[in-house]
Amino acid sequence: RPSQQGADSGDGSPGSAAAETPSSEDFSLSLLDTNLPAEAETELRSFIAKRLTKGALFEGMGNVASVGLSIPEFKVGCYYCRFQQENLLEMATLESDVSAPEYVVCFLGGSEKEDTFRLELDKYIQSLKINLDLEQKTLETWVKPYLRSWFEDAICPVQRVVQLFQEKLTFLLHAALSYTPVEVKNADERTEKDIHRFLAAASLQGLVQEGTMTSLCIAMTEEQHKALTVDCSGSQLQLHNAGSNRFCEDWMQAFVNGAEGGNPFLFRQILENFKLKAIQDINNLKRFIRQAEMNHYALFKCYLFLKNCGSGDILLKIVKVEHAEMPEARNVVTVLEEFMRE
């Protein structure tokens, strides 16, 4: 049971801990960094200790829970993640008698909506895990500032992109849905990172078949003249080769309307709903195509659906790639393409 430190911090507020054997009670928690009041930090430590005792924390995988603390918000959302330092993890594997300290990082926000940012926060911890070095100077100059900027770096990019693009966000949404490559020019490092994070969060990666995604990426990359260029050099954003459709315009409006409240969690929820609706439309179209293989009326329903859904251009590309090896479905898609062109 090493008496090493634990790690943690946050904008909402954090408290942190370290544990050697999470499945047993034989561990101690010591504080590395926090900006919580002392009483709330003790309560958070108790919450984490209970989770560790139950063996409920898996290495490198974040969890989100509601925690009652003695601070004005009463119940707050807490993202917490247990990890080991990367190089010590390797040493411990080679020498079984090496007892590597483990850490728990906690980030606190106003509600359990951190759950929508779980993947971003997991990546944030992964970077900490790789770079963590407990020498005092690294701790002061890198680890603590890194922990304290979690909210700005992991939660706010979507919000910043919405505020930067405003009505032009429709073109970014279209690029994300259609797997169009995006080049960012004359932007500072943070803005460029924000735009690429937004695109990653808005794309259907992991929600459509992997083969489909690869084929679409290849197809769009081959059409290089279609790459969307975002130029940040002037006072106004300049976009070149931008595409849009009614579906993306409607969702852009939802983002712009949400900008009044300025809640980053709301923007992320809108983004999730945007992707959910796109997936529902793809599944509906696939169902209509299956029916249209044997039924001309269903073929007409396919056509009407494509015309009215607002994103027929993108949906047709996606199903064309997915049905490339299926002769009957491919024939249906070819007919639909002709109708849509006319």
* Of 103, 65, 109, residue with least CA distance to 81: 103
- pLDDT (0 to 100) of residue 242: 92
- pLDDT (0 to 100) of residue 342: 81
- Burial level of 7, CB count in 10 A (0-12/13-18/19+)? buried
Q: Which residue has the tokens 């002769």?
A: 327
- Phi-psi region at 206: left, alpha or beta (left = phi > 0; alpha = psi -120 to 50): left
Task: Specify whether the CB–CB gap between 275 and 319 falls below 8 A.
Answer: no
- pLDDT (0 to 100) of residue 4: 41
- pLDDT (0 to 100) of residue 112: 60
Q: DSSP string of 265-279?
A: HHHHHHHHHHHHHHH
- pLDDT (0 to 100) of residue 275: 93
Q: DSSP string of 15-62?
A: --B--S-TTSS------S---S-HHHHHHHHHHHHHHHHTT---BT--
What pTM value is reported for the model? 0.81
| Residues listed for the chain | 342
Task: Specify whether the CB–CB gap between 6 and 84 falls below 8 A.
Answer: no
Q: Which residue has the tokens 């430590």?
A: 45
Please list the rounded mean pLDDT of every run of 10 residues in the chain (342 residues): 43 45 64 88 91 82 87 79 73 58 86 75 88 70 89 92 95 92 93 94 76 66 73 91 94 88 84 93 91 89 93 88 81 87 82
Q: What Rg value do the Cα atoms of the chain yield, rounded?
A: 24
Q: Per the structure block, which two tokens stand in for 278?
A: 């796109």
- pLDDT (0 to 100) of residue 194: 96
